[in-house]
Amino acid sequence: MKKTWLTFAVVTTMLVVVTFFSIVNGSLEIGVAELIRGLLFGGNEDVEVIKDMRFPRIIVSLFAGANLAVSGLLLQAVMRNPLAEAGIIGISSGANFVALTVISFFPTLFFWMPLFAFFGGILACFLVYSFSWKSGLSPLRLILVGVAVNAVFTALYESFNYRGYTTTSSAKATASTLSQQTWDDVQTIVIYGSIGLILSLLVYSWCNMLALQDKTARNLGLHVTRARVIISAIAVYLASVTTATVGVIAFVGLLIPHIGRLLVGSDYKILTTFSILSGALLILTADTIGRVFLAPTELPASIIMSLIGGPFLIILIRRSDRIYGG
C-alpha cells in the first residue's frame, strides 16, 4: 500500500514537472514569470505563440498517452493476454485505414473522422475475436491472428497511400507527429477521450473478475460476454479516437500496464488510474525529448517511445519472473 502511494506521488510530481518543463522549453524559450504574466495579462507575443502552438500539442500528448495506456490495459483484461495492445493486434491500423480511406473519398466528412476510426477499430477487433475464437480464447492464437490482422490493415493503408489515392496528408498516419496539433484537435481528443477514460474507470470491477477464469466470473454473477463486449468497445473507442487525432503510436498500451502491474499490483481500480497518469507522462516526455533536445529539428514521439520503451520493457521482463512465468 505504501509503495502504491509513493508511486502515485512520484508519477504525479513528474507529470507536473514535465508539463512545466515542456511549456517553457523548445525552439522558443521563456521564463516562468514571463509566461505567467503573459498568460494572465496578454501582450506578450512569445506567450501567444506558445499558447497557439505548444499548449495544444502538450494537451493532445497527455490525452493520447492516457487513452492508449488505458486501451491496452482494458484489452489485456478482456483478452486475458499480456500482449494485447491496440497497435499490435491491428485495432489502431484498422482505425487508421478506415478513417483515412473514408476521408480521402469524402473529405467533407472530416469532422466525423473519430467515428470512422471507431468503426475501423471495431471491425479489426471483431475480426481478431472471431478468427481466434475456438471454444475459448487461446492467448497464442489471439496474438497471431492479431498480428496478421494488423499486417493486412497496415498493408491496405499503405497500398492506398502508395498509389496516391489519399488526398489528406499522410504525415499524420505514418510517423504520428504530434507537432501540428491545433485547438480543434484538443477539443476532439479531450471530449472523446474524457468520455472513454471515465467509462474505463467504471468497469474496473468487471476487469478484476475477468482476471479469474470465465467460469468463476460467471459463478459470481458476472454477465461475462456482455462485460467482454462493453470493455472491448471502450478499449477500441479510446484507441480509435487517439489514432484519429495523432496517428498510430505503438507500445504505450503495452509498456504502461506492465510497469503498473509491477509497481501497484493487479487491482484494476488502482491500475487504471495509474495507467491514465503514467500514459500521459510517458507520451508527453517522449514528445518533449523529441522536440526540445533536438531543436530546431525534432523526432516524432512514436520513435522516441520505441527507443526508450523497447529496452525498458526487456529489463522489466527480465526482472519479474513472478508475473511472466519462470
Partner 1 sequence: MEVKNVSFSYNQKEDQLKSINLAVEPGKITTIIGPNGCGKSTLLEVMSSHNAPQKGQIILDGKLIQQYKPKELAKKLSVVHQKNEIPFDINVENLVSYGRMPYKRFFHHHNSEEDEEVIDWALSITNLQSKRKEKVEQLSGGERQRVWIAMALAQKTPILFLDEPTTYLDVYYQFEILELIKKLNREYNITIVMVLHDMNQAIRYSDWIIVMKNGEIVTEGSPKEVITEGMIESIYGVRAIVNHNDQSGFYVVPMGVARRNDNAT
Residues forming contacts to partner 1 in the complex (CB under 8 A) are 135, 202, 205, 208-209, 211-213, 215-216, 218-223, 261, 265-267, 269, 322-323
Q: How far is the CB of 133 from partner 1 (least distance, A)?
A: 15
Cell numbers standing for residue 71: 486501451
Q: How far is the CB of 152 from partner 1 (least distance, A)?
A: 30
Q: How far is the CB of 205 from partner 1 (least distance, A)?
A: 6
Q: Is the dihedral of CA 74, 75, 79, 83 positive or negative?
A: negative
Indicate the residue among 81 and 96 with the shorter CB distance to partner 1: 81
Q: CA-CA distance, 184 to 169, in Å (whole number)?
A: 17
Indicate the residue among 3 and 42 with the shorter CB distance to partner 1: 3
Q: How far is the CB of 72 from partner 1 (least distance, A)?
A: 18
Indicate the residue among 194 and 213 with the shorter CB distance to partner 1: 213
Indicate the residue among 108 and 135 with the shorter CB distance to partner 1: 135
Contact 119, 267 (CB under 8 A): no
Name the nearest CA neighbour of 69 among 303, 250, 246: 250
Q: CA-CA distance, 254 to 82, in Å (whole number)?
A: 8
Indicate the residue among 135 and 297 with the shorter CB distance to partner 1: 135
Q: How far is the CB of 224 from partner 1 (least distance, A)?
A: 8
The DSSP bridge partners found for residue 182 are none
Q: CA-CA distance, 90 to 96, in Å (whole number)?
A: 10
Contact 239, 85 (CB under 8 A): no
Name the nearest CA neighbour of 89 among 118, 141, 125, 62: 125
